[in-house]
Structure 1
Amino acid sequence: MTWLLSNWKPLLCALLLFLAAAGGWHEGSERTDAAWQAKWYQHEKADQQAADAFEARARANEQRYQQNINKVLENGQRNIDQVRANADAAADQRVRDAGIQYAGRTAAAEAGRDSCTAAASKAASQHARVLAELLGEADRLAGVYAEAADESRVRGLACEAAYDGIR
């Protein structure tokens, strides 16, 4: 302890020198931390701006895709409506044609009643009626199948157009 009391000046100098160095180190550490914090803030800001720009581009693309799909849907529905209208017109024409054929058959049947071959004419008339009904049913089903095929084609083309619109 006596040695400590006699050599207190160099120890005090060493202690002061140590405290000054520690203070300088602490000050440098704070400056370095502040510099890194500023760099980190700039980095986060740049990342946020890039994310915002990406989101804006993605939203613009999504809106463009949705507009293309909406146009395709409108065109497809318009085409489907046209196919259905054509099918309805064809069905109406078949009904008119069947009415004309029936009127012709009844007129021929009435004329045949007065002849001596009325029985043969009646049998032929029944066979003709069965065949006409069979033909009419086949024609009706052909119309139904044609309408379904046309509608499927229109829907397929609309689907292709929608796919091409989002590529």
Structure 2
Amino acid sequence: MSALLLRFLPYIAAVVLVAGALFGAYHHGVTVTDGKWQSEWNARDARDEAAKADYEASERENEQARQQSINKAIQDGQQIIDQATADADAARASADGLRGAVDDLASRLAYSEASVNSCTSASGKAATRAAMVLADVLKRADQRAGDLASVADQARARGVTCERSYDALSSGN
């Protein structure tokens, strides 16, 4: 049996060598193919990263442009609000002059009421009181109208600012 084994031993060794060579060639092919695919995947990943960086830079520029538009709209809106406030202050000063004139008229009526003789005293008192009430109503109405105008001007300015900010955002898309 040993002679038979010795006789086939070179053939067995040759078969083992051929199988080893084939396995080595296969393993080398798999390694080369894996390396090729890995380099392609790395190249694809690098392209994806570059595209992502370009996209992010582009979006950052767009965001900054939109933010600048919003900042400009806010700045313009604040100027409108400041102008409305200045106009309201000017109107309030003008109204103060009107209220002063009404107060002066009311005090003159009160003074004239004291100097009226007793015959016409009752009708004069009623007219004076009516004039004083009317003067007070006029002062209050003027003051309230000024307050409402100030609020309306500021609300309009804020609405315009909001609208411009929205337009800046929607035109950027």
TM-score by length of 2: 0.88
| Aligned partner letter, 2:131 | A
Measure how far apart 1:14 and its partner are: 0.8
**5+ long unaligned stretches in structure 2:** none
**5+ long unaligned stretches in structure 1:** none
CA contact (8 A) 1:109 1:121 kept: no
Distance 1:111 1:8 in 2: 147
Corresponding position of 1:37: 38
Corresponding position of 2:50: 49
| Aligned partner letter, 2:91 | A
Given candidates 153, 157, 160, the residue that maps to 1:157 is 160
Corresponding position of 1:136: 139
Q: 1:118 to 1:9 in 2, by over 3 A?
A: same
Corresponding position of 1:67: 68
Corresponding position of 1:147: 150
- Paired residues in the alignment total 167
| Aligned partner letter, 2:55 | F
Measure how far apart 1:111 and its partner are: 4.8
Measure how far apart 1:104 and its partner are: 3.4
Distance 1:9 1:113 in 2: 149
| Aligned partner letter, 2:152 | A
Residue 123 of structure 2 corresponds to residue 120 of structure 1: yes
Measure how far apart 1:103 and its partner are: 2.2
Residue 106 of structure 2 corresponds to residue 102 of structure 1: no
